Each structure stands twice: as C-alpha cells, then as structure tokens.
C-alpha cells in the first residue's frame, strides 16, 4: 500500500520543527507508520475492533479485553518519559549526521541529561540494527579489522593487538554491508558468519588471512595478497576497507572510545548509515520507522 502522504520531507532542522511541532504530530506520524490502514491493534489481545481513543488523545482502550495502551507500546519508545518530539529529533540527528553524534552533544542539543542521551542513542542503534537480512549475492568482500588500542606498555606483535576488539564485515559490491564484533578471527568463527550471510552462488574476495583458506571448497573464492598488491583488476577488498575507514573515523572522532560490550550497536549505526547512503536525509529518517518495533531496556543494556 502506497503511503506517500505519510512521508515528511526534511532537509534541515527548520523543516523538522514545521513537520513535528509537538508531541501530537509525532504520535500521529508513528500511528500512520505502525498502522498504515488506520486500524490500531490492541497491544494485549491484538484485536482491531472496538479500539477507542481516550479523551487525552494519548491512550487507547480495547473494547474486547478492556486493556488501555499507548501507540508507543511495542516500540523503542515504550515506557519512556522523554517527549516523543525529542525522540524524533534525536533520530533525525543520528540519521543525518554522517559520523554520528556523542551523548554529550545530544544532551545539549535536545535538553536531556547526558545519561538519558546515552540511553536514547543505544535504543536508536538497537532500532537501526539489521533485523533480518537476505543472503548476500554477487561479489562479496570479506575482511576483519580491529577497534580500540593498546597501552604503550602492552603492545603485541602480529595480527591485532592487546585491548583491541576484532570486527568482521562483509559487503556486496554496490550493495549493503554487515559487520559485527567477534571474539576470534579463526576459521570456525568466520565460517559460521559467512555461511549464515553469504549465498554459495556468490564470489567472495578476501585477503590472504589463513582463516579464509577453506572458502575454496564451498565458494568461488578470490584472494588479494597485500604483500604483493592492493588490487589486481576486480580482485580487491577496497570496498570493505572503505567502510572500516568510516567506522573508525566515526568512533575515534566522535565517540573517542567504545567498550567491547557495546561495540556491536555502534557497528549497527554505521552499517545503517552506509546502507542508506544512496538516499537523502528525509528518506533515511522515514525508513527508520519501518523497524521501530522491539524494546531495549536499561537493565538489558548495562548487563549485556
């Protein structure tokens, strides 16, 4: 069903405040995105009949099970005391800023505490994460990198270093990227991720790391030996290395440091921004609401 009328055009912050001047306008937009046919479903029994909007304009009551609920139940906004307009503004800023925004800056921009801004950003990253993806096809580059740094007293020679966290990524040429932190970059770990994400009909391009040697048995596998060259025609991993550059510049330049416990969500943020690179800020903002379901609690976040 086409929903062109539900898609606001946002090119700057002035446009944002015109489209979303208050919480009511934000609730209406969320309602249209979650229930495009106009029928609100009860969050408890799922009934579509006898759903009544209460006088405060914020809550609904189900005539079947008598449950009272809000439009935010079942989304990242559930049980939040932060105004919905501030949530929308935070989402717009995160999706529009090419390298992200720190919690220190966000708390000043939208008028919440730094702790609240930090929690909001992680909830937004949770929303941006790839929920379910198709198998990657065509030519897919695979590579690993390391995020973090070692103290001067504990440097270690070889691939990786002390206090760094490994991140493994795959990217389709002219397509999407997927990245996640890994405990090890051994054959078993990378095998599991690759087989879960990449079609056997794809051509995989990697560097000469030994963990990729097995790919010759299951995939069409091409290797670029970086000790000899960085590209031989179409045999290169420059695309995924370009993504690593974006990820690291964002982390080092905006966030400065990221704990291994939360690294995957930062990967989700930069993954989403990369995968929507061909659309404008308004389209990127609108697309977020197609995957706003689910809830990340503070207890879950800090106890991961």
Angle in degrees, 0-180, between the axes of helices 238-250 and 263-275, rounded to the nearest 10: 120
Q: What is the Cα 219 distance to its own chain's centre?
A: 28
DSSP assignment string, 111-123: T--HHHHHHHHHH
Per-residue pLDDT band for 133 (boundaries 50, 70, 90) equals: confident
Give the residue with greater pLDDT, 148 vs 206: 206
- Assess whether pLDDT exceeds 90 at residue 132: no
Tokens of 199: 């079609």
> Which domains are delineated in the chain?
4-131+282-302 (no CATH), 139-258 (3.30.420.10)
Which of 78-87, 132-141, 219-228, 261-270 shows the lowest mean pLDDT across its residues? 132-141
- Assess whether pLDDT exceeds 50 at residue 3: no
| Residues facing 52 on adjacent strands | 61
SS (H, E, C) 223-265: ECCCCCCCCECCECCHHHHHHHHHHHHHHHHHHCCCCHHHHHH
Instruction: Give every CB contact of residue 156 below 8 A, 6+ residues apart in sequence.
Output: 150, 162
The pairing of beta strand 139-148 with beta strand 203-206: parallel
Nearest Cα neighbor of 170 from 197, 148, 147, 191 is 197
Per-residue pLDDT band for 130 (boundaries 50, 70, 90) equals: low
Q: CA angle, corner 183, sides to 125 and 240, nearest 5?
A: 60
């Amino acid at each position: 069903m086409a929903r062109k009328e539900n898609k606001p055009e946002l090119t700057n912050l002035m446009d944002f405040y015109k489209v979303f001047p208050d919480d009511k306008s934000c609730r209406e937009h969320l309602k249209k995105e979650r229930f495009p046919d106009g029928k609100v479903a009860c969050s408890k029994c799922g009934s579509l009949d006898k759903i009544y909007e209460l006088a405060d304009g914020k809550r609904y009551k189900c005539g079947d099970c008598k449950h009272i609920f809000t439009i935010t139940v079942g989304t990242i906004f559930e049980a939040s005391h932060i105004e919905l307009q501030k949530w929308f503004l935070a989402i717009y800023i995160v999706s529009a800023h090419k390298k992200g925004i720190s919690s220190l800056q966000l708390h000043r921009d939208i008028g919440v505490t730094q702790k609240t801004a930090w929690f909001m950003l992680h909830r937004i990253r949770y929303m941006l994460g790839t929920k379910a993806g198709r198998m990657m096809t065509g030519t897919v580059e695979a590579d690993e990198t390391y995020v973090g740094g070692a103290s001067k007293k504990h440097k270690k020679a070889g691939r990786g270093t002390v206090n760094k966290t490994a991140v493994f990524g795959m990217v389709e040429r002219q397509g999407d990227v997927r990245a996640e932190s890994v405990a090890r970059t051994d054959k078993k770990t990378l095998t599991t991720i690759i087989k879960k994400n990449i079609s056997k009909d794809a051509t995989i391009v990697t560097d000469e790391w030994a963990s990729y040697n097995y790919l010759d048995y299951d995939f069409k596998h091409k290797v670029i030996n970086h000790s000899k060259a960085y590209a031989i025609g179409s045999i290169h991993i420059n695309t995924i290395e370009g993504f690593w550059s974006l990820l690291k510049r964002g982390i080092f330049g905006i966030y400065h440091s990221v704990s291994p416990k939360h690294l995957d969500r930062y990967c989700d943020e930069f993954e989403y921004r990369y995968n929507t690179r061909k659309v404008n800020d308004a389209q990127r903002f609108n697309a977020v609401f197609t995957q706003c379901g689910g809830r990340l609690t503070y207890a879950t976040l800090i106890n991961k």
